[in-house]
Structure 1
Amino acid sequence: MKAIKLFSGILVIALLMGACSTIQVATDYDRQVDFNKYKTFAFYKPGIDKAEISDLDIKRILRSIQYELQSRGYQLSENPDILVSIFTKEVDRVSVYNNVGWGWGWYGYPYAGMGYNTISRDTEGSLYIDLIDADRKELVWQGKGTGSLITNGDLAKKEQRIREFVQEILEKFPPVQPTSQVAGVSE
């Protein structure tokens, strides 16, 4: 009986952890760039116009990026040090779960009975935030956030989810660089 309670507790914890909506973040940057020299930014319209999402979602993303950068001391400028661009990818995931019924059989022995299948659909999206050196027109930093996009049509949840994506991606900017990297000296 203790084993079944333990199994049930583990199952509940696993389901709750699976229900948490995490965002996986990956970043890359040019190790020869001194990110301390960047103080101002602007949005790179030609890149943003290629994002395959609604104009309203683009506005939500850009407002979130502007908020995050300004909260870190960067200023929006018509003569920027860095240009900000975004692009998105979306993938529909279909998962099939084989569920087996559990119960007590003859003489008090547990059994695994006939099961059923559960099909789950989920949309996983990736948001890329590119930072481009305005003078050189070269990519210097890229952040990618990947996670579930399902908000069940709730606009408040959608806006919150976008803010979470942007915040977690830009949490890694600017990168922490050893001083020898900035000076162009390899370690």
Structure 2
Amino acid sequence: MKNLKFLLLLFILSSCGSIVNYDYEKSTDFKSYKTYNYFGDMTTGLSELDTKRIIRAIDQKLETLGLQRSEHPDFYIDIQSQNLQNANRSNVGIGVGGGGGRVGGGISVGIPVNQNKQTREISIEFVDDSKTGMFWQALAEYRYDVKATPEERAAQFTKLVEKVFATYPPEEK
């Protein structure tokens, strides 16, 4: 029983990954887009080094999808992010129970785990100024460790980008 409780706790903690939501213009012909670039005046909300890391991760992923970065692109990419307010997850519970002619009570206190991690929301938008404007958007919420090494940060952005582009381009229905 003790092992089962440990496995359940491990599962709950490991399931706190990133959350990704998508939206796109239904009439878009995604096959017509072959080249991209980033907006020159993009303000990502990330540090300069983290901006380079996420751009590198996006470039690598889009290359595997057959898209190429170009000075004269078919569309532009905009990246924006912001810190989200973390809810205080500490709590106190009081309970009374009984059984078999006995009465008992208990108090429990919840202690937040991983307080050094913060939550960010990041938006990745594909914009075609010559046609429809924004035609694809992904909003991702993820937790990051401010004390992570540069290698850990790069790996985290790679993992996030893989999840963001897991269903790109959207399937035609």
The alignment's TM-score, normalised by the length of structure 1, stands at 0.76
Q: 1:11 aligns with which of 5, 8, 11?
A: 5
- The Cα of 1:119 is off from its aligned counterpart by 3.5
State which structure, 1 or 2, has the greater radius of gyration over its C-alpha atoms: 1
Give the aligned length. 164
Report if aligned partners of 1:80, 1:134 keep a CA contact under 8 Å in 2.
Answer: no
- The Cα of 1:22 is off from its aligned counterpart by 1.3
Q: 1:144 aligns with which of 139, 143, 146?
A: 139
Unpaired runs of at least 5, structure 2: 95-101
Stretch moving more, 18-27 or 56-65: 18-27
- The Cα of 1:88 is off from its aligned counterpart by 0.6
Report if aligned partners of 1:127, 1:165 keep a CA contact under 8 Å in 2.
Answer: no
- C-alpha deviations, 1:72-128, integer Å up to 9, x for none? 11111111111111001211423104478xxxxxxxx89654444424434111111
**Paired residue type of 2:118:** T
CA distance in 2, matches of 1:36, 1:89: 31
Report if aligned partners of 2:74, 2:128 keep a CA contact under 8 Å in 1.
Answer: yes
SS of the aligned residue for 1:62 comes to: helix
Instruction: Provide the residue aligned with 1:104 in structure 2.
Output: none
Task: Evaluate the alpha carbon distance shift between residue 19 and residue 110 of structure 1 in structure 2; reply closer, same or farther with a 3 A threshold.
Answer: farther
CA distance in 2, matches of 1:85, 1:26: 16
CA distance in 1, matches of 2:150, 2:77: 25
Q: 2:62 aligns with which of 69, 79, 100?
A: 69
TM alignment of 1:69-148, pairs within 5 A: 69-93=62-86, 94-98=88-92, 113-120=106-113, 121=115, 122-136=117-131, 138-148=133-143
- The Cα of 1:156 is off from its aligned counterpart by 1.9
CA distance in 2, matches of 1:117, 1:176: 43
More helix by share: 1
CA distance in 2, matches of 1:65, 1:110: 60
**Paired residue type of 1:144:** L
Instruction: Provide the residue aligned with 1:163 in structure 2.
Output: 158
Unpaired runs of at least 5, structure 1: 101-108, 179-187
Q: 1:54 aligns with which of 47, 52, 57?
A: 47
> Are 2:156 and 1:175 equivalent residues in the alignment?
no
CA distance in 2, matches of 1:155, 1:115: 38
RMSD: 2.6
Identical amino acids, percent of aligned pairs: 21
Report if aligned partners of 1:126, 1:147 keep a CA contact under 8 Å in 2.
Answer: yes
CA distance in 2, matches of 1:177, 1:110: 62
SS of the aligned residue for 1:60 comes to: helix
